[in-house]
Structure 1
Amino acid sequence: MHSFRSLPLAAALLLALSACQPSPAPETAAGNAAPAATPDAKVDQQFELLSKRFLDKAMELSPITATQMGDHRYDGRIDDMSKGGRAATLQAAKKFLAELDSLEVARLSRENQVDAAILRNQLRYEIWSSETLQSWAWDPQVYSQLAGGALYGLMARDFAPMPERLKSATARMQQIPALFTQMRANLDPARVPRIHAETVARQNAGVLSLVDELIVPNADQLKGEERKSLDAAIATLRAAVAEQQAWLDDTLVPNAKGDFRIGESLYDEKLAFALNSPMTRQEIRTRVEADIASTRAEMYDIARGVLADRPDAPEAMPDSPSPEQQQQVIEAALELAYADRPARDEVVELATRTTEEATAFVRENNLVTVPDTPVKIILMPEFQRGVAVAYCDSPGPLDKGLDTFYAVSPIPDDWDDAQVDSFLREYNTRSIHELSIHEAMPGHFLQIAHSNKYPSILRAVLGSGPFIEGWAMYGEKVMSDAGYMDGDPLMKLINRKWNLRAMANALLDQAIHVDGMTRDEAMELMTVTTFQQEREAAGKWVRAQLTSAQLPTYYVGYSEHLDLRREMEQREGDAFELKAYHDKVLSFGSPPVRFVRQLMLDEPIQ
């Protein structure tokens, strides 16, 4: 997964995995279908000024996001989640939406029509999120991610001299206790799902791990009164975190009575805008179910080839297997891949090596232009653990020349041997290769590096989750098709298994939040139908309760990227050139895939 940056205006957007969108169906850039109009430079100028004012206001209203984006004017402040702060955010969103609606958007250049459509989607999301979803009233993750992000964004990268960043960290640590107070005032325990409360209770101390790991070791770089202020802020924050922990453990968790399932109406509203795609919930289900069947059939054929002539192969491997025979043969072949796995303390080292190997393969096979900037593999910060195994954390579009992090979560210390074994079977050596392809090369790291070169800051800040996640999955297919790891059939089998995981994600999300899928049903879909190990499936069950409308982004974006590639291959025929195609797709930044298609084919933006 990519560590999505949230656009300000709503601080809750820092919880990227809980991203949600407004209820009406997506409109065209002009608000509704309209005939093509002649571009007008004056209207373009009006929109660009509106876009700049929006970004400036958005950064002012969410200083933590501003830091993530690389705008460091507000590094000494944090977001205001009080009633007044939220009202200011809502008022700003409505004001900018009214201004945007007053423009002759059909007279914009094509690129600006895309940006206008993206901006309208975002503003309507802000309004819907504040007035209808109200995550500020029931999701404590909003606040825990703000608290951790406030310090991590300052200290993780060397965008300014350490003393300057320490002074900003001092100011933010002084304000985090007020954020905790706002959290306690805003949250209604009767609406808070227990899984959300328990997760945040486990994450709470992660703020102090950031202090101890990133701030305290550098504290001597401040002297005199500045050092005293830093020490006092740390002491105050430690006390505030302890007070918060007591409230979480004694008040929020015991009284959390909310339903984590958001229901059909909210889900469909959210999904339409989270995806910004023509695919509906019903269409996703139909397509996923067909793809699961075809992918399992392909895996069966690969598995038969792997197991041929092996004395321990299943007795029956017919051309037309029963469901039970298909399951047995695929599982037997996957066991060969699971046998090759790292030790529990070697996962990060393996992630580093596989990233280097994948990078060399992309260059040697001329698949796509590789950026010169490096990627660093790190342990995932504690405050972000518990949702995903890994993520790519790229520098903000306004920060230039800084590191990209490929963060890998360590295996929890309290896991027993059976849990560790389950995890390492899932994240076997070949799966770590697949993970590095997805998170780094040619996945998230490469794609975001290209995206950050696109001149529209608005488009970079409002990057499309389906485009980003879909590209990372598409990158896995490109590597498999190109014969990565010498065309190793077990690597191909693992690739298809990972495809199945994304398909399961898309089904799980809607089945859990709309159809009432139980844990047992979810575990069967993951561990049997899509061959996931128990630890992976158990973690995904938790993630699916904590989030909604994010898990489908992988499959939907992947499907859209595949559809676009096929269409361009058909149009260009023998003239189609893979690297040129990839570079072209990546040259537009990270907009929804439908806009990339319309730009490439010179079709109306809608």
Structure 2
Amino acid sequence: MRLRPLSLALATLIATSACQQKAPTAPVEAPAAAQVSTAQADAKFADLSKRWLDGSMELQPVAATQTGNHAFDDRIDDLSAAGRQKLVDFSTKMLAELDALDLTRLSRDNQVDALILRNQIRYDIWTLQTLQSWAWDPQVYNSLAGGALYTLMARDFAPMPQRLKAATARMEKIPALFQQMRENIDPARVPAIHAETVKKQHAGIMSIVDSMIVPEAKALSGADRTKLDAAVTTLRTAAAEHQKWLDETLVPNAKGDFRIGQQLYDEKLAFALNSPMTRQDIRQRAEAAITETRKEMYDISRKVLAGKPGAPASMPDAPSDEEQQKTIEAALELAYADRPARDKVVELAKASTAEATKFAREKDLVTVPDTPVQIILMPEFQRGVSVAYCDSPGPLDKGLDTFYAVSPIPDDWTPAQVDSFLREYNTRSIHELSIHEAMPGHYLQIAHANKHPSVLRAVLGSGSFIEGWAMYAEKVMADAGYMDNDPLMQLIQRKWALRAFANAILDQAIHVDGMSEADAMKLMTVTTFQQEREAAGKWTRARLTSAQLPTYFVGYAEHLDLRREMEKRDGAKFNLKAFHDKVLSFGSPPGRFARQLMLDEPIK
């Protein structure tokens, strides 16, 4: 999972997660025109996009910090009615200017950026006016409060005194954000799962203060230190009062439906994916992929189990559903037996990242960056949604660390829950996780993307391109024989692919079709072989978010479709590394634009 900018308009929580986005009815083809005309059009668009970036960052300063724009590090987002209206007015004005441009006069790269920007502005307006997550999703506020401080302290983008002064200013403003939350949120509209999650996460805000700010406070002196200490004291009181409101008012009165329904879901999905694939397309392709992958897993399992004690008595060429299930489960048990101790997961993540990096270089699969990735414990205010994520520096921050954050096993889990978790995140699965989050997954892809000259494209990176690449990278490594073609590693890679296929079905089935918890758990634990703890966590995540879980499968399918098309076109001349480097050179655009750029097709 790739950590995205923490802003109301761009996301709720850490997911890149709608009026239906419609593609132009005709291709945006540049007509024959004088070069100066294109240059003038590009200059006009460059001015517009810069003004949008500057204006949106000023109105969403927490996202600005994460992006690497540090002009507003002493501010936080204003989610009052007046603050929200400012963002709507700004977005409406910028959309009108963009719609007035003749996109056919732009260069191909700018045609892509203009269409990405149009989709984002419409998404911003829709999120504020139609989805209205500010009125029913407390995660929006919790994410902003925690992100406001964490983004300042996690990386050394400026001297510590400068960052502490900015943190002081933000700590002074967070109590007002808590107040805005209490004024904006209607507990009756809040789903119980959202209220319970934020109740648990809220303590993470002060944990950032106590673990990242207070220990560094000695870097300030005099009036600056006095101001910081006062801000900490005031925030501690405000946080305690807010926790009381969460416990006594929000949680008991949270009666909202976590299912957003077909209309909102389809609209949001179109914005979030910016893809020709519809909800129906996604389900049909995901179901077919599950069937095909289970067949592959059965074939691998038969070979793994041949001649071994405890193998199923019957493993025929054409198995029944029950025979297929039992055979795959028996082979997976061999992988589950090799798992880390509960306190060694992060250590294994570090070792597996190093091994995956070495393998990708030796096999010459893609150009590998030289800068390292840091494996860290996930900050407390981010826990409860995913097991791990990649947090890369913003496109405007150069030379800073990338974090591969891994959530620790909760202290209050029973031995049975810990065992379930470690069966799912066994040794080979941690290798798979490191491939996805670090090398050659998110870390590598974002490192390439941040070299693209378009800041706009970097800021508005496509979630499906990013998540799809990380999943595609898992397949590339498996196909190249990672871990010496270990059949159990091949089995685990396909098991992880099944998880993504299930994600795509689960998301729409829950929010549109009313899928029950029992049916969701069956899809995950039986059809796609997930352990109970993983499935329970995904059930929670699917209720907390929408239109983010499909990004893995949609992006994966788009990357794989493009590769197959290029292999067919180039034949014997096809070079895998050259293909990967070329795709990654486009930044992180939606897959449809990557395809059009790669194949030199009209931009539309």
Which of the five TM-score ranges fits, normalised by the shorter chain? Answer: over 0.9
Q: Deviations over 1:277-309 (max 9, x none)?
A: 111111111111111111001000000000011
SS at match of 1:167: helix
Match of 1:97 in 2: 95
Match of 1:376 in 2: 374
Match of 2:311 in 1: 313
CA distance in 2 between partners of 1:250 and 1:143 (Å): 18
SS at match of 1:54: helix
Match of 1:136 in 2: 134
Summarize the alignment of residues 61-460 of structure 1 with structure 2, pairs less than 5 Å apart. 61-460=59-458
Is 2:495 the partner of 1:480? no
CA distance in 1 between partners of 2:156 and 2:108 (Å): 37
Shift of 1:26: 2.8
Shift of 1:12: 6.2
CA distance in 2 between partners of 1:518 and 1:318 (Å): 34
Which of 494, 497, 510 is equivalent to 1:496?
A: 494
Q: Deviations over 1:207-255 (max 9, x none)?
A: 0110111011111111111111111100111111100000001000111
SS at match of 1:406: strand
Distance 1:35 1:397, change over 3 A: closer
Shift of 1:382: 0.1
Shift of 1:16: 3.4
- Count of residues in Structure 1 that have an aligned counterpart in Structure 2: 600
CA distance in 2 between partners of 1:215 and 1:222 (Å): 11
Q: Check conservation: 2:65, 2:151, Cα contact below 8 A.
A: yes
Match of 2:528 in 1: 530
Distance 1:12 1:470, change over 3 A: closer
Q: Check conservation: 1:12, 1:136, Cα contact below 8 A.
A: no
Is 2:546 the partner of 1:552? no
Q: Which amino acid aligns with 1:423?
A: F
CA distance in 1 between partners of 2:448 and 2:30 (Å): 30
Q: Which amino acid aligns with 1:25?
A: Q
CA distance in 2 between partners of 1:258 and 1:14 (Å): 17
Match of 1:25 in 2: 21
CA distance in 1 between partners of 2:406 and 2:233 (Å): 30
Q: Which amino acid aligns with 2:338?
A: D
Shift of 1:432: 0.1
CA distance in 2 between partners of 1:149 and 1:310 (Å): 51
Match of 1:37 in 2: 31
The two structures have a TM-score, normalised by structure 2, of 0.98
Q: Which amino acid aligns with 1:72?
A: H
Q: Which amino acid aligns with 2:22?
A: P
Shift of 1:5: 2.1
Is 2:571 the partner of 1:573? yes
The two structures have a TM-score, normalised by structure 1, of 0.98
Q: Check conservation: 2:21, 2:119, Cα contact below 8 A.
A: no
CA distance in 2 between partners of 1:104 and 1:154 (Å): 40
Q: Check conservation: 2:346, 2:375, Cα contact below 8 A.
A: yes
Match of 2:516 in 1: 518
Match of 1:562 in 2: 560
SS at match of 1:355: helix
Q: Deviations over 1:453-503 (max 9, x none)?
A: 000000000000000000000000000000000000000000000000000
CA distance in 1 between partners of 2:449 and 2:579 (Å): 15
Q: Which amino acid aligns with 1:26?
A: K
CA distance in 1 between partners of 2:296 and 2:498 (Å): 11
Match of 1:48 in 2: 46
SS at match of 2:205: helix
Match of 2:585 in 1: 587
Q: Check conservation: 1:70, 1:397, Cα contact below 8 A.
A: yes
CA distance in 2 between partners of 1:126 and 1:219 (Å): 37
The more displaced of 208-217 and 420-429 is 208-217
CA distance in 2 between partners of 1:376 and 1:598 (Å): 35
SS at match of 1:329: helix
CA distance in 2 between partners of 1:444 and 1:464 (Å): 12
SS at match of 1:391: strand
SS at match of 1:277: coil
CA distance in 2 between partners of 1:86 and 1:558 (Å): 35
CA distance in 2 between partners of 1:164 and 1:41 (Å): 40
**For structure 2, which runs of at least 5 residues remain unmatched after alignment?**
none
**For structure 1, which runs of at least 5 residues remain unmatched after alignment?**
none
Q: Check conservation: 2:378, 2:388, Cα contact below 8 A.
A: yes
CA distance in 2 between partners of 1:522 and 1:377 (Å): 32
SS at match of 2:338: coil
Shift of 1:24: 2.2
CA distance in 1 between partners of 2:177 and 2:568 (Å): 54
CA distance in 1 between partners of 2:308 and 2:12 (Å): 51
Q: Which amino acid aligns with 1:452?
A: N
Shift of 1:600: 1.1
SS at match of 1:190: helix
Q: Deviations over 1:582-605 (max 9, x none)?
A: 000000000001101101111100
SS at match of 2:15: helix
CA distance in 2 between partners of 1:120 and 1:35 (Å): 17
Q: Check conservation: 1:392, 1:407, Cα contact below 8 A.
A: yes
Q: Check conservation: 1:5, 1:14, Cα contact below 8 A.
A: no
CA distance in 1 between partners of 2:97 and 2:62 (Å): 26
SS at match of 2:117: helix
CA distance in 1 between partners of 2:222 and 2:316 (Å): 78
Identity of aligned residues (%): 72
SS at match of 2:76: coil
CA distance in 2 between partners of 1:485 and 1:601 (Å): 34
CA distance in 1 between partners of 2:574 and 2:27 (Å): 31
CA distance in 2 between partners of 1:596 and 1:387 (Å): 29
SS at match of 2:507: helix
SS at match of 1:16: coil
Shift of 1:34: 5.0
